[in-house]
């Protein structure tokens, strides 16, 4: 399994706090894929023409990026965050 370091480089520049985002993989129908390797997190950014699709935050041991649009039922991890 891949582990992610929670050093200061992963902390918010705004408030200095951090959040742990595990490499939970994703679900494709009944199959769980890439557990321990990647984490795909659904965002609140929805497509205008298809609100059942959203942008994803994709993380791996070497990258973090806003990924392609994915159907929200595709099984992206949901990480609740409160203000």
Per-residue pLDDT of the chain (83 residues; tens, 9 = 90+): 444 444 445 566 677 777 777 888 887 777 888 888 888 888 888 888 988 888 888 888 788 888 778 877 766 666 666 65
Residues 6+ apart with CB under 8 A from 32: 25, 26, 75
* Structure-token pair, residue 12: 């918010």
CA–CA–CA angle 31, 37, 43 (5° rounding): 75
The pLDDT assigned to 11 comes to 62
The pLDDT assigned to 78 comes to 66
């Amino acid at each position: 399994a891949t582990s992610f370091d929670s050093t200061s480089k992963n902390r918010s520049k705004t408030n200095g706090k951090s959040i742990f985002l595990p490499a939970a993989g994703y679900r494709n129908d009944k199959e769980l894929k890439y557990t321990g390797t990647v984490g795909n997190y659904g965002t609140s950014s929805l497509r205008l023409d298809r609100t059942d699709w959203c942008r994803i935050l994709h993380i791996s041991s070497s990258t973090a990026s806003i990924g392609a649009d994915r159907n929200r039922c595709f099984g992206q991890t949901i990480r609740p965050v409160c203000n």
